[in-house]
Structure 1
């Protein structure tokens, strides 16, 4: 039995749309905190003098805690009330923001960022599941999820921008203090604008399951982030293996519990499982491709960081516009056709990106980025709607959390694995390079990464050296190979998804649960 309170019937009114605006702003703040520190790092280093390890934890601990606690907080919302969990999380987020802003040491800031991550983990699943509760009409719900998704994407894009503006005039702690008024508004307005929803028959949260879920997610995310930045080694694969082993224990425990942290029966719903897989794969390839693109613009095409950021902003506009308009496509074509067509368009964009990368065309890369956005955004928003819509109402919070967790895993996997593939191609191509004129350490650096080759050329003043052209061509080939793999896999995924969705005839109305 479930207990919906104040759920709207039929078309949404002003109250629901204002509620959506507040939820979206909260989601934007949560997403923004993943990237807002990028420009503040130099000021933090000057003020707090962290060690290299402390600096890494200041930057990464927020994302780790968010990923680790998403499932727990989503399930907690289902059991004690989604609005209640959101209000508690927003209050904690505001308090932790003040704690972070006035930190006087690196360890204090690390603890504050960890607290922010735990609090932030309440926001994404709670806001998404409450959006589903606010909008009973399927067409309006698609539009609302698009607005929610736009806020999520914009948070990551404008985080560095807002951080830069604040740092120009204020202390670095200001990048955290901007969270406080937003959370105060959310806490004040939520009781009047947002519905409450909870399962009336759920048992207590199983604490050993919470511990096992953390011990599953955190090592895997940590390992893949290390692989992405430092390469694939046994040392970095070890935490991934440990996390997967603990994950097996977690699943066995869920099968035995009367009230599991994750209801494994959700994965027996074809629409849920297929949408979760498509969601993960879409994020996997987009994150991996755009990692290459950011490096490509600077290291291959020779753009300055500012010019690269400005050119990248053009596809970013396409992402934003598509996020706001994707609901029109979904409402016109239906969920299944939108997902399948979007996967094909995404595959075409990946193929075009590969061709443009190989031929080192700035115009081609930007056009391909736009095409990827046109395909990716409707897919990711529609599958998100299907994930939360195909789950029973009392499990919407947990389903929302699984959607967010799959995106975290997809992004980490895409950056790590596609980055590793590109590195393998680069090193294979550079094995035949004539680097005999370089000192051995410089030759090894040039064979390892394009960034190393560019740095060596800059040090020696040989920016037109033949081996540098080979290095750039090798990186472009690695980029193209990764894009080709993405294109083929996305087409195959579309074929698999089509078969799975065909076995779920009620899928078009899944989100009306």
Structure 2
């Protein structure tokens, strides 16, 4: 794309929302920089879901329990969500490009630790480090996009491309994992990060200009700690209570999170330069947009995590075959970048977001029906519909959030947007995953005829129970078929629950988010 006006100089810092620089249109260098930033966020999104197909293999290799499997899947997003606010504000202070480069290097190092993890606990710890490094990348990429593209129409288009990288990467993860697992061990899904991160490091260093808040104020260390304490303990409490029932540990963790959240909000109201401008949440439209974004990613990521296991454990596909059969969602979420700007311009943000959530809910409904039937066509249709809806929803919500703040607060606003995304991923895997596990166990047949170790494996998860039942003769085959039916039935109910949540979010978006059309 050619530049209609002189492009902002490299390294420029913009003072506020009313400066003439805001009218400058992006040129070829800015679009090339966008490509580098989108590659970074695509890799992060891939890393959030790439393990879905590897779960059966690493469960057997590392001897992971069902609780450890859930932690391996979602601790990455917990760390991301817990630190995004702090890292977004830190990026505004020390420079978004600088923090991004640090994060890229750290992400590569943590990938090596994860690839060669000897135990489930080691892998969980490595995933935490990946989340910490990822937290430095996510708000930096989005806030740099916000500063590179000052023209509103170009910014929406750039965010659509960025969103396609995020949504497409989440859907692409299982395909990448499947292709690697067909030929290599499960740790290869982390090794692949290294050459890509090297490319991102070189591209960002050469193409992306530095930007920061010229008057950032003091960094609130206590607030940063409170923001983590407000997110992680309550989600842990949900997982713990679902597994062991209500007990003092679960209640204490939930109370700790709620208390930290209350103190955090009160503290932010009193600071001159808060980590989060909580007054933004007094705007119904802003709050509605954040919640709608969170619910959309909640439904998509939580279901995708267990859908990959469904394709392998119930349908009997290999990792690569399962990844290829998830490709329709990937292609749809990427292709939607072409029409996202037109849809948002024609309908307005509120109506576009509501419509996209309705589309996603419809796709989940189709998927719920298809999971109980034979054949692949109906599954493919549901995945396409879900991909289209999620792609537009994420673009509309991200653009709406960033449009409410001046450029010097882009990092903090990006952190809120990204926190809703990553918290949605973490909660989706934790809550929908817990719901599915409960439904699976409730649907199991009588296992009293099995040996203790086999019965424990089947109750633990279908991934752990399948190898134990395969060699158990005719009785084992009958119980395995019943366990697969229980897994599929749990997927159907979980899909419908996610669809119901999306319908509620769509109604909220329609009612409270403005839909004024853009020129």
**Is the pair's TM-score, using the shorter chain for normalization, greater than 0.5?**
yes
* CA–CA distance in structure 1, aligned partners of residues 90 and 479 of structure 2: 57
1:489 equivalent in alignment to 2:504: no
Instruction: Give the superposition deviation at 1:117.
Output: 4.4
Range with greater deviation from structure 2 (412-421 or 115-124): 115-124
RMSD of aligned alpha carbons: 4.2
Task: Tell me if structure 2 keeps the 8 A contact 1:271–1:390.
Answer: no
Q: Show the counterpart of 2:141.
A: 127
Instruction: Give the superposition deviation at 1:339.
Output: 0.9
Q: Show the counterpart of 1:255.
A: 269
> Of residues 78, 87, 91 in structure 1, which corresponds to 2:98?
87
1:21-100 to 2 correspondence within 5 Å? 21-32=35-46, 34=48, 63-78=77-92, 80=93, 84-91=95-102, 93-94=104-105, 97=108
Task: Tell me if structure 2 keeps the 8 A contact 1:3–1:197.
Answer: no
Deviations for 1:145-187, whole angstroms, at most 9, x for unmatched residues?
121122234545356479779979x998674354234213312
Secondary structure of the corresponding residue to residue 427 of structure 1: helix
1:176 equivalent in alignment to 2:194: yes
Instruction: Give the superposition deviation at 1:398.
Output: 1.3
**Aligned length, in residue pairs:** 492
1:198 equivalent in alignment to 2:210: no
Secondary structure of the corresponding residue to residue 492 of structure 1: helix
Range with greater deviation from structure 2 (408-417 or 359-368): 359-368
Q: Show the counterpart of 1:500.
A: 512
Deviations for 1:220-250, whole angstroms, at most 9, x for unmatched residues?
455567789x676745665454333322221
Instruction: Give the superposition deviation at 1:105.
Output: 9.8
* CA–CA distance in structure 2, aligned partners of residues 301 and 38 of structure 1: 15
- 1:317–1:508: structure 2 CA closer, same or farther, 3 Å change rule? same
Q: Show the counterpart of 1:294.
A: 308
Higher relative contact order (CA 8 A, sep 6+): 2
Secondary structure of the corresponding residue to residue 100 of structure 2: helix
> Of residues 189, 213, 238 in structure 1, which corresponds to 2:207?
189
Instruction: Give the superposition deviation at 1:37.
Output: 8.1
* CA–CA distance in structure 2, aligned partners of residues 110 and 454 of structure 1: 24
Secondary structure of the corresponding residue to residue 299 of structure 2: helix
| TM-score scaled by length of structure 2 | 0.79
1:414 equivalent in alignment to 2:425: no
* CA–CA distance in structure 2, aligned partners of residues 36 and 358 of structure 1: 25
Secondary structure of the corresponding residue to residue 76 of structure 1: helix
Q: Show the counterpart of 2:389.
A: 375
Q: Show the counterpart of 2:376.
A: 362
* CA–CA distance in structure 1, aligned partners of residues 353 and 393 of structure 2: 5
Q: Show the counterpart of 2:32.
A: 18
> Of residues 439, 442, 445 in structure 1, which corresponds to 2:451?
439
Q: Show the counterpart of 2:278.
A: 264
Instruction: Give the superposition deviation at 1:50.
Output: 10
Deviations for 1:248-291, whole angstroms, at most 9, x for unmatched residues?
22122222223221111010122211110100110111122223
1:461 equivalent in alignment to 2:476: no
> Of residues 454, 475, 483 in structure 2, which corresponds to 1:471?
483
Instruction: Give the superposition deviation at 1:396.
Output: 2.7
> Of residues 317, 320, 324 in structure 2, which corresponds to 1:303?
317
* CA–CA distance in structure 2, aligned partners of residues 102 and 472 of structure 1: 34
* CA–CA distance in structure 2, aligned partners of residues 161 and 86 of structure 1: 33
Task: Tell me if structure 1 keeps the 8 A contact 2:146–2:155.
Answer: yes
Deviations for 1:422-446, whole angstroms, at most 9, x for unmatched residues?
233333333xx34454335534544
Residue segments in structure 1 that go unaligned for 5+ positions in a row: none
| TM-score scaled by length of structure 1 | 0.80
